[in-house]
Structure 1
Amino acid sequence: MQNKKNFKQYIDEISTDWFKKFINEKIDIFRNGFLEDNDQGFGDFKPDVNVTSYILNKVKADIESISNYNEIKKFISKYSLNVDGKEDLKSAGDAAQLELIETIQKNPDNIQEKITELIMKMQINNITKNLEKSLNVIEILASKLGEDTAIEDIEYEDLIYILDNNLQKSLDKIRRWNLENPKHSEFYEEEMKILESDADFDKKKEASEIIEHFFSNVIGEEIDEKEMEDIDVENLNERSKIIVFNKGIMISEELRGKIELISIIYKNSDLFKKNNA
């Protein structure tokens, strides 16, 4: 990485590499679970393989073409569901139900394809939304430090201060979730201590991965197939189990992504201006 560059060029490099790595990982996990596993909460439904392959190939091609931060934002906008300005699970579910009803009315022989498409849309939406929240740290840095500022003119102490403040906001989210769900948070108490007090970002990364794994794999087992089948989208509220757990999953993914991104920035600390240098 060359020294003579402005902050925007630096942002483009690190955010593009980070985003491609993360979203490809998430897409691959979803694809494998959707096509190969029988315990993904879809009951007896079998996805349409052709539709799945078509959509994933298109998504992968769009990911590969990303070369800067602005293109990341365009990608997120393209694959995010935003119903009347809302981003919550209930709004996305309402939109999916409406789209499915319209499909049944127009072409009742096309149900498997449409359900496959809708499930994939919602899953990809979740992935992009979580990564967008992790990327918030880049937006804050750019606005505070200035995109046109030369890297060597940026004070490292200022950078650390901004990054730490932004990370604390994500930690506050999981702290609130833990207070509301103390039984589950007991399983990762040690990891929370590392996230809150350990200065070693490699340890923070490992802790965030463990917490994300807990939410993505362990906690999901508490919602059985019957509960998934009996979900009434109209009656979902903030205390509905699926809403509570989905919120925890999204917070854990946001936190892990943000810690990975901040870790990359810290590993390039020699590029920035240090007062004791």
Structure 2
Amino acid sequence: MKKTNNDKNFGEFLNEIGITWFRDNLGIKIEKLKKDFLELTNGENNENNPLIDNASAIMIKPQAIDSVYKKFQDVSQSWDTIQDIKNYTISNNNIFDLTKIFSEQNSINNSDLISEMIDGDLDISEVIVKVQIETIIKMLSNSLDLIDDILSKLGPNTQLKEIDTEDLEYVLDVSIKKSIDNFEKWIEMNYREFENFKEEFLILKDEKVTLEKRLEKADVISLFFKQFKSKEIAKDIEEIDLNNDQGFTKNTAEKFINFTNGAQIVGDIKSRIKIAILIKNKF
């Protein structure tokens, strides 16, 4: 049974849901980012922590977080459509994109910016916070592809009353499956990790299981990355010899990128399921 019987078209209906979801989650994630930075700077064992060393070039001050946060709040208020968000992510490439950071071309393109940071013309702490927030925006934007998938199948100008519930559920599952398939590819390259969440993943990919139950399993897999893999990566980074030019080895970099890719894919799965639940609940 549909929960709405108005004559709003499908595109307008989904845009409202998508924009609301995006703004709510952007605010939540930025607040968490702020909390994480503050906890890091107020934590124990801070003797050698560059984020709180007044002599350090990368000290992260609360004022820097608030300043960058305010700028993004102002910008995001002008985004009235999902396409506005997409346009922003396209026009603002993250200079520290993990897939490009070690490429020669990336180094050439960013040489001027890096020179400005070294010369002190840019606040490095603000750049670090900006990169973090832009990464969040990009990830949320990618998850909104679910709405593009639905509109391409059912049409943006279709009236809500003309949409069949079973058709809607089918295209939602297809879009979620895209992200799950990406994670399955990650598993194939990291099969030894699979035993840590095999049971949860098998339920997650089962389209006969409710979205709510699948979201629970995605949460469990996400915890694996946050609580276990993140500690493993952090340990590797702690052991790096910063006085050695070869300290940050290619192996460490690849391990970090691989971990981040897996965690981001799981985050995308969770976001797509949450958007799907919102759509079903409001339909």
Structure 2 length normalisation: TM-score?
0.78
1:30-84 superposed Cα distances (whole Å, 9 cap, x missing partner): 1111222257xx942230332221101222333345443233334444654279x
1:186 equivalent to 2:186? Answer no
> 1:172 Cα shift?
0.9
Cα shift at 1:166 = 1.5
With 205-214 and 70-79 compared, the bigger mean Cα shift is at 70-79
Q: Measure, in 1, the Cα distance between the counterparts of 2:200 and 2:223.
A: 12
CA contact (8 A) 2:14 2:279 kept: no
Aligned CA RMSD, in angstroms, stands at: 3.2
Matching residue within 131, 145, 170 for 1:122: 131
* Structure showing the higher helix proportion among its residues: 1
* Equivalent-residue separation in structure 2 for 1:152 and 1:129 (angstroms): 33
Q: Is 2:158 aligned against 1:158?
A: no
State the alpha-carbon separation in 2 of the partners of residues 28 and 215 from structure 1: 21
Distance 1:227 1:96 in 2: 28
What CA deviation, in whole Å up to 9, does each residue of 1:214-239 have, x standing for no partner? 22343111123335676979975898
Indicate how the Cα distance of structure 1 residues 159 and 98 shifts in structure 2: closer, same or farther if over 3 A, else same: same
Give the partner amino acid of 1:54. S
Change (3 A) 1:148 1:13: same
2:99 paired with 1:88: yes
Deviation at 1:178, TM superposition (A): 1.7
> Would the alpha carbon gap of residues 192 and 216 (structure 1) be closer, same or farther in structure 2, given more than 3 Å must change?
same
Give the direction of change, closer, same or farther, for the CA distance of 1:180–1:137 in structure 2 (3 Å limit): same
* Aligned partners of 2:9 and 2:159 also within 8 Å: yes
**Post-superposition shift, 1:175?**
1.2
What count of residue pairs does the alignment treat as equivalent? Answer: 260
Hey, what does 1:22 align to over in structure 2? 25
Q: Distance between the aligned counterparts of 2:269 and 2:36, measured in 1?
A: 23
- For 2:274, the equivalent position in structure 1 comes to 260
Matched with 1:251 is 265
Q: Separation in 1 of the partners of 2:209 and 2:226? A: 26
Compared with structure 1, are the counterparts of its residues 78 and 23 closer, same or farther at alpha carbon in structure 2 (3 Å cutoff)?
farther
Q: CA deviation at 1:170?
A: 0.6
- Structure 1 residues not aligned, in runs of 5+: 270-277
What displacement does 1:259 show?
Answer: 0.8
Aligned residue among 138, 141, 155 for 2:150:
141
Give, as a single letter, the amino acid of the residue that structure 2 aligns with 1:28: E
Q: Does 1:206 align with 2:216?
A: yes
Partner of 1:71: 84
TM-aligned CA distance change 1:229 to 1:243, over 3 Å = farther
> 3-state DSSP class of the match of 1:4?
coil
**Aligned residue among 40, 47, 50 for 1:44:** 50
Which residue identity does 1:244 align to in structure 2?
A: N
C-alpha separation in 2, matches of 1:172 and 1:8 = 26
Residues in 1 aligned to 2:275 and 2:27: alpha-carbon distance in whole angstroms: 15
Deviations 1:224-271 (A, max 9, x none): 3335676979975898101101111211111111110111122234xx
Runs of 4+ in 1 over 6 A off after TM superposition: 231-235
- Alignment CA distance shift 1:250-1:89 (3 Å): farther
2:238 maps to 1:226? yes
State the shift of 1:98 in Å.
5.3
Task: Say which of 176, 182, 185 aligns to 1:173.
Answer: 182
**Partner residue of 1:104?**
118
Asked if structure 2 preserves the Cα contact closer than 8 Å seen for 1:81 and 1:87, the reply is no
TM-score between the two structures when normalised by the length of structure 1: 0.79
